[in-house]
Amino acid sequence: MEILSSINDGILTLEFNRPERKNAITAAMYQTMADALNDAEGNADVRAILIVGKPEIFTAGNDLEDFMKNAPTSGAIEDRSVYKFMMALSGSTKPVVAAVSGNAVGIGTTLLMHCDLVYAADNAKFSMPFVQLGLCPEFASSLLLTQIAGYPRAAEKLMLGEAFGAQEALEMGLISKVLPVEELRAFAEGQAAKLVALPASSIRVTKELMKAARKAPVSDAIAAENKHFGAMLSSPEAREAFMAFFQKRKPDFKQFA
């Protein structure tokens, strides 16, 4: 199974389990996670959610070959399994904990902005290389990262798309704590267990109140980003970026205005 899903002691754990492909996420993996999160909403036995990868890699982001095979046609953005997953994650009424070790690329960093408690190992590296692929940010990352880190740092991370480490992510406010890689998962599981032991109604209402002010802006940002993202997928710049990736060469964007 490329997504390991289990419920133990009130915690739904979703684990990326495709290390041979650096935990690159396929449409089927997104759908599995979306279904698990949606099922958890109506399951009283689930009181917290934990998202983890492997000690050496969180996720390399989208599996680009699979992504291109499942690229949306005009007007079909909401049919994408990644959209269903991100809407389930963003809309979850239950607390979500994420534990990141190794690389968290693209959606691997974006999804963290929709979690509640985020912890990282000292080997974690984050990146959002959307512009490098001839695309734009998605799932409200243009809004949320600016709110979290401030415009100058958000601009640097989103425009240049360069990787940054766990300590900088901590300073930016993207994560809450940095731990040795061998201690990360146990710590995150312990934090999730604390949430399980607390009154579910109190956690639910507290989360709702904290996210209320940004609910409409996030929805608007997702809609705007998806509109541009869908259009840019068929742009000459994106075609050049993807072709360069598969040909293992540096893309040439100077030919485009």
What average pLDDT does this structure show over 165-192?
Answer: 98
Distance between CA atoms of residues 249 and 98, nearest Å: 33
What average pLDDT does this structure show over 82-95?
Answer: 97
Query: Domains in the chain, start-ordered, CATH in brackets?
Result: 3-179 (3.90.226.10)
Beta bridge partners of 52: 15, 99
**Residue 73 above 60 pLDDT?**
no
**Residue 85 above 80 pLDDT?**
yes
Q: Name every residue whose Cβ is closer than 8 Å to that of residue 63 and which is 6 or more positions away in sequence.
A: 21, 24, 25, 26
3-59 tens-digit pLDDT? 999 999 999 999 999 999 999 999 999 999 999 999 999 999 999 999 999 999 999
pLDDT value, residue 255 = 86
Quote the pTM value: 0.95
126-173 tens-digit pLDDT? 999 999 999 999 999 999 999 999 999 999 999 999 999 999 999 999
What average pLDDT does this structure show over 202-214?
Answer: 97
pLDDT value, residue 72 = 61
For the purposes of burial, counting CB atoms within 10 Å of the CB of 181, is it exposed (0-12), middle (13-18) or buried (19 or more)?
middle
**Residue 97 above 90 pLDDT?**
yes
Q: Say which residue, 137 or 76, is predicted with more confidence.
A: 137
pLDDT value, residue 64 = 87
